[in-house]
Amino acid sequence: MAFISVRDLTLEFTKYDEEGRAESSNKALDTISLDIEKGSFTAVVGMNGSGKSTLAKCLNGLLLPTEGSVNVDGMDTSDDSHIWDIRSKVGMVFQNPDNQIVSSIVEDDVAFGPENLGIEPAEICRRVDDALRKVGMYEKKDKPAHMLSGGQKQRIAIAGAVAMRPDCIIFDEPTAMLDPSGRGKVMEIIKELNAEGITCILITHFMEEAAESDRIIALKDGRIASDSSPIDLFSDARLIEELGLELPPAIELRERLGMDKCVSNIEDMADEIRGRAQQGRNSFSE
């Protein structure tokens, strides 16, 4: 059984007038069906307004379906009796780190979630230290949170989610407000967490980040327009254009250089170029 199972998910927002009468409605999500396996790394992409963040909030019960269902580890998000268990299993990290910091001191902020779960103080201390080490922020544990950079704050927000010991973390455009260095560090952390067995779902508009995942779900007008591997998606130029997306720089350069289809990120490309250069040197020396 899939860890997260979505069936015919439709979410409709209704606008009401001052007297409480329905004026209009809009389907933010329209009959979405998908499964997410435990331990996987899935990216969700699409233009603004395609339904990415709305879908993310449905996956841990922050938003409930108008029609259809979302099940997390066999629990229906529409069942109130399961909602806290679901949110313990599926953590979220949002776009703006300033909106996620709740305490003035770093370690207090990371401890906030476990404290609300009623975990023993000694265990909370262990979890906080472990989470801060995972994101490379242990040395900042006693620092005021407001003194940190945007990238550091986002790493603290991730540590807060990690300290809850969830099975899955949804990252809703976590790098949108960061500089390239901060973005790179956050992506390193996401990949490391996934390598440790945490299911990662990344909502992003940076295609080079999506290319790091195992699977990309592309949304358009609240529907799934594509569900495939990064290589298959980015090899379909017509679909990329239809979805209003851009090729990751590494893949665009790969095509210009006539490299192998499997080369999809900067690291692989560097290896390919080094290999070609070495072959050229060997041929010349012969």
Neighbours of 211 (CB within 10 A): 22
Cα–Cα distance for residue pair 93/161, rounded to 1 Å: 7
State the pLDDT at residue 171.
96
Domain spans in the chain, listed from the N-terminal domain onward? 4-234, 248-286
Q: Alpha helix (H) ranges present in 14-71?
A: 52-58
Q: What is the mean pLDDT of the chain?
A: 88
Cα–Cα distance for residue pair 110/99, rounded to 1 Å: 14
State the pLDDT at residue 35.
97
State the pLDDT at residue 235.
83
Give the pLDDT confidence of 114-138 residue by residue, as tens digits: 998 889 999 999 999 999 999 999 9
What distances in angstroms separate CA 115 from CA 25, 127, 128, 163, 236, one per listed residue?
Answer: 40, 11, 11, 10, 47
State the pLDDT at residue 24.
66
**Long-range contacts of the stretch 134-142 (C-beta < 8 A, 24+):** 134/159, 134/162, 134/189, 134/192, 134/193, 135/159, 135/162, 135/189, 136/185, 136/189, 137/106, 140/106, 141/106, 141/107, 141/110, 142/105, 142/106, 142/107
Does the pLDDT value for residue 224 go beyond 70? Answer: yes
Q: Which residue has the tokens 């709305």?
A: 54
pTM reported for the whole predicted model: 0.85
Does the pLDDT value for residue 247 go beyond 90? Answer: no
State the pLDDT at residue 237.
84
Q: Which residue has the tokens 């979410």?
A: 11
What mean pLDDT is predicted for residues 91-99?
89
Beta strands (DSSP E) in 62-179 are 67-72, 75-76, 90-93, 168-172
4-234 CATH, one of 3.40.50.300, 3.40.190.10, 3.60.20.10, 1.10.3720.10: 3.40.50.300
Least confident window among 95-99, 247-251, 255-259:
255-259
State the pLDDT at residue 283.
57
More confident residue, 44 or 101: 44
Least confident window among 60-64, 159-163, 183-187, 274-278:
274-278
Give the pLDDT confidence of 35-78 residue by residue, as tens digits: 999 999 999 999 999 999 999 999 999 999 999 999 999 999 99
Tokens of 101: 């910091």
Could you tell me the strand order of the sheet in which 4-16 lies?
A: 22-36, 4-16, 67-72, 75-76
Give the pLDDT confidence of 263-273 residue by residue, as tens digits: 555 566 566 66
* Under 8 Å between Cβ of 185 and 155: yes
What mean pLDDT is predicted for residues 102-111?
91
Tokens of 167: 């099975």
* Under 8 Å between Cβ of 58 and 65: yes
